[in-house]
Amino acid sequence: MCIIDTRVVAIDSTEVTPASVHDSDKAIAPVEQAKKTVKTYPQYYLMDSDYDSTDIYETIRKDHHALAIVPYEPQRS
């Protein structure tokens, strides 16, 4: 996962994991790290369908006051 500040096109946070670790298991750590390094908090987090998880939506909405934008993955519903 990589968090990019689109205002200045700079990488704020990144984490590389082995293939055995699912993306959704590591989604919140880079969000927390980016929150510590940016002056203005993101309003949106754009993620691919591997991050389609209720826990991620709720954490980003409640704890970070932002919106997670993730393509709907019907198999996971």
pTM (predicted TM-score): 0.66
Whether residue 70 is predicted with pLDDT greater than 80 in this model: the reply is yes
How far apart CA 2 and CA 11 sit, in angstroms, is: 7
Q: Which residues contact 42 (CB under 8 A, 6 or more apart)?
A: 3, 34, 64, 66
The answer to whether the CB of 32 falls within 8 A of the CB of 53 is no
pLDDT digit string (tens) for 9-23?
566 666 677 888 877
Q: Where are the domains of the chain?
A: 2-15+23-76
Whether residue 33 is predicted with pLDDT greater than 80 in this model: the reply is no
Amino acid at 2: C
CA trace torsion 48, 51, 53, 54 (10° rounding)? -80
